[in-house]
């Protein structure tokens, strides 16, 4: 789950020029309101919205008491079902908004142990709101004046943003995620902090002496559990603080930070921790954690652990192991921060025999009965917007993957023993169910047909029995109960075998169909169990220190494959099947970190004669077809069509100060906004120059409510041409214009096209005094209209991995054409063509990994009236976002002409990975890397033709560092040296800043 409070990211979400609509335009939203929330949901999510409205006020009451803060105005909650992967997002600027993906979480997501998944998600995200939103002291004053602002794109605005945004916005990720995960754990029956998954991570990290330092949870460490450090250890720190310094400290810290300037985090810590800093308290927490988990390890070690033999460990997250039908090979999914996700096939000894790439997925695999193909699921963009999983097959003989379904939203796919059917889990509108699909030729697969009809509950792990007549699976309800069930395909009956408040997951049939293996944490550890269908009893098969998931029996029944947990991720291992070692009476166990639901009448291992009933509606559950009362007595409105205007009005403003000449000072203000769903967004600036007695403005508006995206820009702003003719003189211009652009995305998960077209009206007027003949120092300057039609196309399939020092694979292509004509209202006739091509080539070298060759070619030409400096293409200087034609080793924009062509060849290599900072200082050094480069380019025009000996060449070296500043912002500063070898060349020592290489 991703929770986001950083305002800069909110700015990108709200007012950036989007390449495509962000939400499926087929969704039609409605709104229901409670006293403190407006809940927006699209068709099909009426039931989820009903549950959300029923729990919202209770969550509000608990968390506002905990954090001692009541947000002003209603929090907007957007429910959406556009992904097969659980996620959440909380934004506090410019107003409080929560986004919830409504698919139930899987066990491997770390959210999989819950009593009510929607309540857990809602509580976590609302905890972000009430802990990040508070204002006290100076921030209360600035909020009353400015609201909760976003920054404009200038240094002064950034400084004002730091001074006026909610101070808690700038706290470390471990603070935000630790607080939210602690609140989710305290105020729900489960929560991640009480999960056996978190306990497994802590226990194994202590046993293997692999615990992070506080600076590492500050930064973005790519190692396992990548991305989860702030959640896991931030939670554990907050739990330690509550246990040691009082259960009310969360609120004291929240308000303490809310009155202090950003990044001065030590004061509230020392005030509440007896003079200790966060760094010192974190060190105390680690000592406490070691003591706690060492005792748990000792308790488990009272009995010998089940021996596991490692089959394959090259990679960080190796999961879903599956024996081939003849038992000679093993397939499993491999995720690793150094590479693309793949499926690996080995022999039984772990020697790799095949590997193929796989996109984002649930990780599940299934062999074809003949062992020649592997079926798997993976996600792809569906209908242009939604991230849904479908079924694919990989032919091992041909080495090719083929897509078999479109938009079916399938997970946990398993093929029947005769190869004629597939069983899978299908997600839809917050619910999951088992579906069947008949096999056939590619493209001839029948639509998935549901055989269960659960509502807003999780279904997982369907597996065909060896004779193909039955399917076992696990149902997890919203009371914290899991049940192992069998569906008989012939009689269409669904029978529960056992139910438990502890986790039940990953069922798998023994080859003789007498046993169903499964994983449970009833001993406090994820161990393998076996349910004997003959004597209707459950036996403990393994006794492990860390834990294991996803058992798969060999075809001869002699051993089991498992995904074994280590502190560096999951590895593929096996254990022997020895019935004599199984225990009906459990071995050494740890006390569960959570309370089991009282409704469960029988422990794991006991039989159930009746189907496990669905839980009764929760207290406060509401009907959305009429006004109702919440459990706290607050009114709930009648559902109404979503109205974007309710949240579109400006919520903040900040001043702007800039120049419109050598001595001109411009004073103004800006604001921005967006509706909660994201159909409309805008940024607006207005200013006045007392020197010139003139007003300025700029407007950017995006409409994402339909396809394609429409973007309207309008502006009247001063524009500086620094050193326009390379003679040391600056030229100021008033640039006025309006443009309307339509952009059409063609999105895939790992590639993107964008088609764009539009019309622009532009008027250029001199602000710098000119001679009567319209020249500046004897050189003509253009004034007048430059109206134009434009069209373009962008393509991007570039890939980058957590350990990469830059993008490593793929290419980017951008083409743009502009047509200026007097028939269009322009004062010139001109056609402009520009193109950029970038290629990333990953070198197949192992030491060091992630070496890359980067190629870049760019060029432009103008055909028609081009005789003014503002219109010429300019070349020279180091790369930057504003320098379209860089040439290192030559002065910035030192060459200009009607035609330009540049090229870059660059070798990039990592030097080291520090992965450290200094305590809680808001700076983290992630990577140090270098580049050797050669740039070449030439400009020419009608009076100066292209000649090879006029090509300018520069070469040099750059030292770069990937750092995280302010806990959130990733930048790559670079120090470079370049030498220009031709006319006009020079030795340059320069500094530049990259925002995403």
CA-closest candidate to residue 674, choices 666, 683, 665 = 683
Whole-number pLDDT of residue 634: 60
Q: Are 639 and 628 in contact (CB under 8 A)?
A: no
Residues of the chain with CATH 1.10.390: 7-16+26-300+625-641
Tens digit of each residue's pLDDT (9 = 90 or more) over 866-877: 656 566 788 999
Least confident of 7-11, 428-432, 861-865: 7-11
CATH topology for the 7-16+26-300+625-641 domain:
Neutral Protease; domain 2 (1.10.390)
Mean pLDDT across 146-164: 88
pLDDT over 50 (residue 160) = yes
pLDDT of 774 higher than 80:
no
pLDDT above 90 as % of the chain = 78
Whole-model pTM over 0.85: yes
Please check the confidence at residue 95 and state whether its pLDDT lies above 50.
yes
Q: How is 458-522 classified by DSSP, letter by letter? A: EEEEEEE-TTSSEEEEEEE-TTS-EEEEEEETTTTEEEEEEEESS-EEEEEE-TTSSEEEEEE-T
Residue 323 has pLDDT above 60, yes or no: yes
Closest CA to 161 of 147, 176, 173, 150: 150
pLDDT at 11: 41
pLDDT in tens, 570-610: 999 999 999 988 988 777 888 877 666 654 434 333 332 23
189 pLDDT band, cuts 50/70/90, is confident
Region of poorest pLDDT, from 3-17, 329-343, 500-514, 847-861: 3-17
For residue 251, give the DSSP letter.
H
The angle at the Cα of 405, spanning 402 to 410, to the nearest 5 degrees, equals 110
As given in the structure block, the two tokens for residue 37 are 């929330």
Are 651 and 684 contacting, i.e. CB atoms less than 8 angstroms apart? no
pLDDT tens-digit map of 377-390? 999 999 888 999 99
Estimate to the nearest angstrom the gap between the alpha carbon of 918 and the chain centroid: 26
Overall average pLDDT of the 21-43 stretch:
92
CA dist., res. 994 & res. 190, Å (int): 43
pLDDT of residue 629: 41
Q: Which tokens hold the place of 376?
A: 């798997």
Share of the chain above pLDDT 70, in %: 92
Q: What is the pLDDT of residue 612?
A: 34
pLDDT score at 427: 95
pLDDT confidence band for 948 (50 / 70 / 90):
confident
In the predicted model, is pLDDT for residue 18 greater than 60? no
Per 3-state DSSP, the chain is made up of helix, strand and coil in percentages (nearest 5) of 20, 40, 40
Q: Does residue 668 contact residue 645 with C-beta atoms inside 8 Å?
A: no
CATH 2.120.10.30 fits 309-581, yes or no: yes
The b/e string for 720-739 (b: 16+ C-beta within 10 A; e otherwise) is bbebbbbeeeebbbbbbbbb
Confidence at residue 944, expressed as pLDDT on a 0 to 100 scale: 79
| pLDDT recorded at residue 593 | 72
From-to residues of CATH 2.120.10.30 in the chain:
309-581
Q: Considering Cα of 244, then 245, then 248, then 254, what sign does the dihedral take?
A: negative
Query: Would you place residue 49 in the very low, low, confident or very high pLDDT band (cuts 50, 70, 90)?
Result: very high
Taking residues 419-423, report their average pLDDT.
94
HSE on the CB side for 496, CA within 13 Å? 21
Within 10 Å of residue 820's Cβ, how many Cβ atoms? 26
**Measured distance CA(59)–CA(753) in Å, rounded:** 42
Q: With 60 as the cut, is the pLDDT of residue 888 above it?
A: yes
- List the helix and strand counts (H, then E) for the chain: 12, 54
User: Which position has the higher pLDDT, 556 or 156?
Assistant: 556
pLDDT digits (tens, 9 = 90+) for 554-563: 999 999 999 9
Higher pLDDT, 893 or 534: 534
Q: Is 790 helix (H, G, I), strand (E, B) or coil?
A: strand
Instruction: Please tell me the total number of residues recorded for the chain in this structure.
Output: 997
**Is residue 6 pLDDT above 90, yes or no?**
no
pLDDT at 442: 55
CA distances for 801 relative to 360, 798, 928, angstroms? 13, 10, 15
Q: What is the dihedral of CA 63, 64, 67, 73, to 10 degrees?
A: 120
Q: How confident is the model at residue 863 (pLDDT cuts 50, 70, 90)?
A: confident
* Alpha-carbon gap, residue 515 to 508, rounded angstroms: 8
What is the predicted pLDDT for the residue at 134? 97
Reported as a single tens digit per residue, the pLDDT across 906-939 is 999 999 999 999 999 999 999 999 999 999 999 9
For residue 33, pLDDT over 80 is answered with yes
């Amino acid at each position: 789950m991703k929770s986001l409070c950083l305002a800069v990211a909110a700015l990108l979400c709200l007012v950036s020029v989007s390449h495509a609509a962000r939400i499926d335009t087929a969704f039609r939203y409605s709104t229901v309101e409670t006293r403190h929330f407006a809940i927006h949901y699209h068709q099909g999510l009426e039931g989820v919205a009903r549950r959300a409205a029923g729990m919202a006020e209770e969550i509000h009451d608990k968390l506002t008491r905990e954090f001692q803060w009541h947000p002003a105005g209603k929090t907007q909650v957007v429910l959406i079902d556009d992904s097969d992967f659980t996620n959440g997002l909380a934004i506090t600027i410019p107003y409080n908004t929560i986004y919830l993906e409504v698919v139930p979480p899987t066990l491997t997501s770390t959210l999989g142990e819950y009593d009510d998944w929607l309540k857990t998600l809602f509580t976590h995200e609302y905890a972000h709101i009430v802990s990040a939103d508070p204002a006290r002291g100076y921030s209360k004053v600035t909020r009353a004046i400015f609201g909760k602002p976003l920054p404009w794109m200038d240094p002064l605005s950034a400084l004002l943003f730091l001074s006026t945004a909610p101070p808690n916005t700038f706290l470390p990720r471990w603070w935000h995620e630790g607080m939210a995960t602690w609140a989710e754990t305290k105020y729900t029956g489960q929560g991640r902090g009480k999960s056996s998954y978190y306990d497994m991570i802590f226990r194994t990290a202590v046993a293997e002496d692999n615990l992070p330092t506080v600076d590492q949870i500050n930064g973005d460490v790519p190692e396992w559990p990548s991305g989860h450090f702030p959640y896991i250890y931030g939670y554990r720190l907050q739990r330690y603080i509550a246990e040691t310094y009082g259960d009310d400290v969360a609120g004291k810290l929240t308000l303490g930070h809310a009155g202090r300037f950003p990044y001065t985090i030590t004061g509230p810590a020392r005030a509440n921790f007896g003079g200790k800093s966060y760094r010192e308290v974190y060190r105390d927490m680690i000592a406490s954690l070691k003591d706690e988990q060492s005792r748990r390890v000792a308790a488990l070690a009272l009995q010998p652990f089940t021996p596991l033999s490692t089959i394959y460990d090259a990679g960080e997250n190796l999961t879903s192991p599956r024996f081939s039908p003849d038992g000679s090979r093993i397939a499993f999914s491999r995720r690793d921060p150094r590479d693309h996700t793949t499926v690996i096939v080995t022999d039984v000894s772990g020697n790799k025999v095949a590997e193929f790439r796989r996109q984002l997925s649930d990780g599940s695999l299934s062999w074809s009965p003949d062992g020649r193909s592997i079926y798997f699921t993976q996600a792809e963009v569906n209908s242009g917007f939604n991230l849904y999983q479908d079924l694919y097959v990989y032919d091992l003989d041909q080495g090719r993957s083929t897509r078999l379904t479109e938009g079916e939203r399938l997970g946990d796919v398993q093929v029947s023993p005769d190869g004629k059917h597939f069983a899978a889990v299908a997600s839809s509108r917050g619910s999951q169910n088992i579906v069947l699909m008949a096999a056939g030729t590619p493209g001839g697969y029948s639509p998935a047909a549901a055989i269960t009809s659960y509502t807003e509950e999780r279904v997982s792990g369907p597996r065909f029995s060896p004779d193909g007549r039955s399917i076992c699976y696990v149902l997890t309800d919203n009371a914290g109960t899991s049940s192992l069930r069998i569906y008989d395909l012939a009689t269409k009956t669904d029978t529960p075998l056992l139910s438990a408040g502890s986790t039940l997951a990953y069922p798998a049939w023994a080859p003789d169909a007498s046993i169903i293996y499964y994983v449970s944490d009833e001993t406090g550890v994820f161990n393998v169990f076996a349910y004997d269908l003959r004597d209707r009893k459950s036996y403990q098969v393994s006794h492990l220190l860390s834990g294991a998931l996803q058992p798969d029996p060999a075809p001869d029944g002699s051993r089991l494959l498992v995904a074994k947990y280590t502190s560096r991720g999951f590895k593929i291992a096996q254990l022997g099947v020895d019935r004599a070692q199984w225990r009906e009476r459990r071995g050494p166990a740890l006390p569960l970190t959570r309370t089991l639901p009282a409704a469960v009448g029988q422990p794991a291992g006991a039989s159930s004669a009746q189907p496990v009933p669905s839980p009764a509606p929760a207290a406060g559950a509401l009907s959305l077809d009429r006004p109702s009362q919440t459990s706290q007595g607050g009114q709930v409105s009648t559902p109404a069509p979503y109205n974007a205007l309710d949240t579109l009005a400006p919520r903040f403003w900040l001043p702007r100060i800039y120049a419109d000449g050598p001595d001109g000072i411009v004073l103004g203000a800006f604001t921005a906004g967006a509706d909660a769903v994201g159909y409309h967004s805008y940024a607006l600036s207005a200013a006045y120059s007392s020197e010139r007695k003139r007003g300025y403005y700029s407007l950017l508006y995006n409409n994402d409510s339909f396809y394609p995206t429409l973007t309207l820009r309008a502006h009247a702003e001063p524009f500086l041409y620094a050193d326009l003719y390379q003679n040391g003189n600056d030229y100021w211009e008033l640039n006025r214009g309006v443009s309307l652009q339509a952009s059409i995305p063609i999105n895939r998960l790992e590639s993107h096209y964008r088609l764009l077209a539009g019309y622009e009206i532009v008027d250029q007027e001199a602000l710098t005094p000119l001679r009567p003949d319209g020249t500046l120092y004897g050189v003509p300057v253009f004034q007048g209209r430059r109206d134009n039609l434009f069209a373009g196309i962008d393509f991007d399939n570039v890939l980058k991995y957590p350990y990469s020092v830059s993008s490593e694979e793929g290419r980017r292509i951008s083409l743009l054409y502009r047509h200026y004509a007097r028939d269009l209202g322009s004062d010139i006739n001109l056609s402009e063509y520009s193109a950029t091509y970038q290629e990333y080539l990953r070198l197949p070298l192992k030491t060091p990994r992630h070496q890359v060759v980067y190629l870049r070619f760019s060029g432009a030409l103008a055909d028609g009236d081009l005789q003014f400096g503002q219109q010429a293409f300019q070349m020279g200087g180091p790369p930057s976002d504003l320098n379209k034609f860089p040439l290192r080793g030559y002065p910035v924009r030192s060459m200009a002409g009607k035609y330009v062509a540049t090229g870059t060849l660059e070798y990039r290599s990592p030097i080291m990975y520090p992965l450290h900072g200094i305590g809680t200082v808001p700076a983290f050094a992630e990577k140090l890397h270098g580049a050797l480069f050669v740039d070449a380019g030439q400009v020419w025009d009608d009076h100066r033709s292209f000649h090879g000996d006029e090509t300018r060449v520069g070469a040099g070296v750059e030292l770069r560092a990937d750092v995280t500043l302010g806990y959130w912002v990733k930048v790559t500063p670079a120090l470079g040296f370049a030498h220009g070898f031709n006319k006009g060349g020079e030795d340059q020592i320069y500094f530049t800043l990259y925002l995403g290489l």
